[in-house]
């Protein structure tokens, strides 16, 4: 099942893309596992996700922890802690 992955702020700048559609391997089942898998996609991803502990994620536009199961999410976003207001 293809999923849409979005990147924002410095995560977007480091990966060099705002969004992409990817087919995830079946053994990637959580947000944390997805970050590890993305890191293996190239040096720009390794750089973007080097500080994976500070990167936040959203599944289908809801904030989630890195331990969250992907459970069929169609849109997955990665970004730094938010700084609005």
Partner 1 sequence: MTVRVEREDFDVGTEVARLTAGRTDIGAIVTFSGTVRGGSGADAITAMTLEHYPGMTEAELARVEAEAGKRWPLKASLIVHRIGTLKPGDNIVLVVTASAHRQAAFAAAEFLMDYLKTRAPFWKKEMRADGQARWVAASECDREAAGRWEEISPPGR
Residues in the site for partner 1, rule: CB under 8 A? 6, 8-10, 58, 61-63, 77, 79-85
For the chain, how long is the longest CA-to-CA vector?
A: 39
Least separation, in Å, of the C-beta of 7 and partner 1?
Answer: 10
Q: 6 vs 24, which CB is nearer to partner 1?
A: 6
Position of tokens 């970004």? 79
CA distance 53 to 29: 18
C-alpha closest to that of 14 among 66, 80, 84: 80
Q: 40 vs 83, which CB is nearer to partner 1?
A: 83
Least separation, in Å, of the C-beta of 27 and partner 1?
Answer: 27
Least separation, in Å, of the C-beta of 67 and partner 1?
Answer: 19
């Amino acid at each position: 099942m293809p999923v849409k992955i979005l990147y924002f702020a410095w995560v977007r700048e480091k990966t060099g893309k705002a969004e992409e559609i990817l087919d995830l391997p079946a053994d990637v089942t959580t947000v944390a596992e997805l970050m590890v898998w993305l890191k293996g996609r190239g040096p720009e991803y390794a750089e973007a996700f080097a500080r994976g502990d500070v990167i936040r994620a959203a599944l289908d536009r809801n904030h989630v922890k890195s331990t969250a199961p992907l459970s069929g999410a169609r849109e997955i976003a990665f970004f730094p802690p938010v700084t609005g207001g």
